[in-house]
A and B are shown apart, each in its own frame.
Chain A
Amino acid sequence: MPATLQSNRDEPKLAVSCHAVTKTYGRGTAAVQALRGVDLEVRAGELLMLVGPSGCGKTTLISVIAGVLGRDAGDCVVSEHDYREMAELETTCFRGRNIGFVFQAFNLIPTLTAAENVAAPLIINGMKRHAAVHHAGEVLAKVGFDERMMRSFPQDLSGGQQQRVAIARAMVHDPRLIVCDEPTSALDSETGRMVMDLMRRVALGKDRALVVVTHDARIFEFADRIARMEDGRITKVENPPPRTNESSNGP
C-alpha cells in the first residue's frame, strides 16, 4: 500500500516540492493571476489528485511542476532538481528523462503506430529506433496490448485504448514523475475507471509519483491523497474515500 511506503524511512523522499509558487498570465489590465502562492508536496510513490473548480489554476500548476511553464516566483523542486537552477535547454532535457505526460486529448501522433508513439520518449532520449520500438512493445504489453494492436494507428483504437497507449508512452522511459491533465474526461466512466486502475497498477512505482488533475469525483478513490485547489492556492490536502475494488490493487 502506498500509505505504508515511507513508514519505515527516516526522511520521506519527495517527488515534488513547491513553495510559494506564483504565476501570472499577461500583464496590465489583462493580467490573470493563475497561481497565488502554491505550497504542495508530492511524495515519491504516491498518486496525488489535484481537484478544484474550473479556472482555479490546476493546469497551470502541473505545467510548472512538469517544467513546461516557467513560474514568476517561488521554488519548485522535482526529484531533487530545482528548476531555478536549470537553464532552458537543461529543463528540456530534464523533462525528457524524468517526466511523463498524459493528456485529456491523448496527443498521439496520428501517423505513427501505437508502438512508435510509445517509443517517442526513448527516441528523444537518443535510443535507436529499433531498440526503442522493441522496448515500447514490452511496455504496451503491460497495458494489455497484443502485437496487432501495437501496430495499429491511433485512429483505429478506441478512446480507452488510446489512453492506454498514452500511459505506456508516459512511463516507457521510466520517469520519476508522471503528470496527467484530466486523463479520464474524454472517456466514459467505465473506461475511465479502467484507465485509473491501470495507472495505479502499472504506472505508479516506488520511485515514481503521479499527479492527476481531475474533475471526476468517480475516480477520487484511486488517489492516495487529494489536494483541493481554489483560486490559485492549495486549500486542503485530504485522504480519498475508501476504494471499492481494493482487492485488485495489491502490490
Chain B
Amino acid sequence: MNFIALKMLVGDRAKYIGIIIGLTFASLLITQQSAIFVGIMTRTFSFLTDVGLPDMWVVDPQVQYIEDIKPLQDTQVLRVRGVAGVQWAVRMYKGGLKARLANGTFQTCVVIGLDDETLIGGPPEMLQGKLSDLRRSDGVIVDAVGARGKLARVLPNGQRVPLRVGDTLELNDHRAFVVGICRITQTFQANPVIYTTYSRATTFAPQERKLLSFVTAKAKSGEDPQTVCRRIERATGLKAYTRDEFKKLTFIYFLKYTGMPINFLTAVALGFLVGITIAGQTFYNFTLDNLRYFGTLKAMGATNRALLRMILLQALTVGAIGYGLGVGAASTWGILLSGRTQIAFRLPWQLLVISAAAVLFICLSSAALSIRKVMKLEPAVVFRS
C-alpha cells in the first residue's frame, strides 16, 4: 500500500510541489524567525557567557537583568569572601561612559573594570595584545567590532581608520591607551566594549559613593553553586545568582518587558498560517481529486486503517521534505549572513524540534480533514459516475 500511496502523491506533480512549497515556506519562516529571536535573546546575556570563570554573580536585590546595574558598596566583596563555600570573590565594574573621538564627537561605550590582581572576567579572545597588558598605565582593551566601527577614526576624505593598539582615547576626560584588541560575543546593545582594570575604571567613572557593579565569585570544588548562592544571600542581604540563574533572569526580563516576543510571534504565526492554508488546502484538494481511487481501493477491500496509513504516509512524506528544505534554507541563510553581518542567528536543536513539531502539526491537521473525508466515503460511490 505504501508505494501506491507514494506514487499517487508524487504522480500529481503540481499539487505535490505546491504542498512542499507551502511546507517549506512555513518551516523556513518559523525556523528563521525563531532563530533570530533566540539569537537576539542570547545576546541579552552574552556578557554572562563571555565571563567564563566565575559561577556566581552577587548583585543588588533590585537588579532585574544583567544591564540593570545598581552599584554596591566596595566592601561587599569582603563579605562575600567570608561566606562558607566561596573559593574566591572579586570585584567587577560595568558602566556606560562617553568616549571622546578624534573628530570631537562622543560615543557611549560599555566600560568593564576587572579585578586588578586577577583580571578575572576578561574578554574570551584576544586578537592583539595580551590581557595582562592592562597592567600598563592607562591601558584599555577595545572590542574589535567597536574598534572597526563606532570608535574608528574618520579621515577628512571619509575613509575610516580602525582604532589600533597604541592609539589613545579620551574616556570621560581621562586619557586611555589602547593596549589590545579583543573579540567578544556580540551584545544586545551595539555599543563598543572597553576592558580595563577595576581601579582605572572607577577613576574613569564619575565619582559616586558606590561603584561596585558585581561581585563575581566561584564556589569551592565540591560545593553546589546554588547552595552557596543562597548562603551568600543570607549572609549579605544581597542577591546571588548562579550564571544560569542570572541568564534566565535576564532572558525572562526581555521576554516580559520588551515588544520583541510579539513581533517574532507574529512572524512565526504568519508562517504557520501560510503553511496551513497553502499546504493544507492543496493536500485536501489532492485527496478530493483522488477520492474516486480511494473509493476503488476501499471497494477492492482496503480497510479504513490501510487508507488512513496511506494518507498519513503521504502527509508525513511532504512534511519531511518540506521541513528539510525549510530548515536547510534557514540554516544556509543564517550561516551565510552571520559570517558577513552582525545578524543575530542561533539555531539550537530545541528550535529544530519546535519547527519539526509545527510542521508535523500542519501536516497532521491537513491530513485529518482528508482522513475524515476518506473514512466516511461509501465504497458504493465507485459505481456512480
Partner-B contacts on A (CB < 8 A): 59, 62-63, 66, 68-69, 89, 92-97, 99, 101, 103-105, 107, 109-112, 116, 120-121, 123-125, 129, 181
Contacts and interface: CB of A to CB of B under 8 A. Distances in A.
A59 B379 CA distance: 13
A103 B8 contact: no
Nearest to B381: A68
A72 B306 CA distance: 28
Interface string B260-301: 000000000000000000000000000000001100111111
A107 B11 contact: no
Interface string B364-385: 0000000000000011101111
A112 B9 CA distance: 11
A110 B301 contact: no
Given A63-B383, A109-B8, A95 B3 contact: no
Main secondary structure of the interface of B (DSSP, over half): helix
Given A63-B380, A63-B383, A124-B300, A109 B293 contact: yes
B295 to A, nearest CB: 8
Question: Considering the complex of A and B, which 6 residue pairs feature the smallest CB-CB distances, nearest first?
Answer: A96-B301, A111-B11, A68-B379, A69-B380, A68-B380, A107-B296
Given A62-B383, A68-B380, A96 B7 contact: no
Nearest to A66: B299
A229 to B, nearest CB: 15
Given A103-B296, A120-B4, 18 more contacts: A59-B384, A62-B383, A63-B383, A92-B302, A92-B379, A95-B299, A95-B379, A96-B300, A99-B301, A101-B299, A101-B300, A103-B382, A107-B382, A109-B293, A110-B11, A120-B297, A120-B300, A124-B306
A73 B273 CA distance: 49
Contacts of B379: 68-69, 92, 95
A111 B10 contact: yes
Interface string B49-81: 000000000000000000000000000000000
A112 B7 contact: yes
Contacts of A97: 301
10 contacts: A62-B383, A92-B379, A95-B379, A97-B301, A104-B385, A111-B11, A112-B4, A120-B4, A124-B300, A129-B3
A41 to B, nearest CB: 22
A93 B299 CA distance: 10
Interface in B166-186: none
B300 A116 contact: no
Main secondary structure of the interface of A (DSSP, over half): helix
Contact of B383 (A89, A112, A124, A181): A181
Nearest to B292: A107
A112 B380 CA distance: 22
Contacts of A68: 298-299, 378-380, 382-383
A171 to B, nearest CB: 12
A90 B27 CA distance: 42
Interface residues of B, number: 27
B301 A124 contact: yes
Contacts of A120: 4, 297, 300
A120 B2 CA distance: 11
B377 to A, nearest CB: 11
Given A63-B383, A68-B379, A92 B298 contact: yes
Interface in B193-244: none
A96 B296 contact: no
A118 to B, nearest CB: 11
Interface centre among B299, B301, B306 (most CB of A within 10 A): B301
A78 to B, nearest CB: 14
A106 to B, nearest CB: 10
B137 interface: no
Interface in B301-346: 301-304, 306
B303 A89 contact: yes
A68 B301 CA distance: 10
Contacts of B382: 68, 101, 103, 107
A211 B384 CA distance: 17
B125 interface: no
B133 interface: no
Interface in B79-96: none
Given A69-B378, A107-B296, A95 B301 contact: yes
A122 B297 CA distance: 11
B255 interface: no
A107 B379 CA distance: 13
B12 interface: yes
B296 A109 contact: yes
A181 B382 CA distance: 10
Contacts of A69: 378-380
B1 interface: yes
B271 to A, nearest CB: 30
A104 B7 CA distance: 24
A66 B297 CA distance: 14
Contacts of B378: 68-69
A249 to B, nearest CB: 28
A72 to B, nearest CB: 14
Contacts of A105: 385
Contacts of A112: 4, 7-8, 11
Nearest to B294: A109
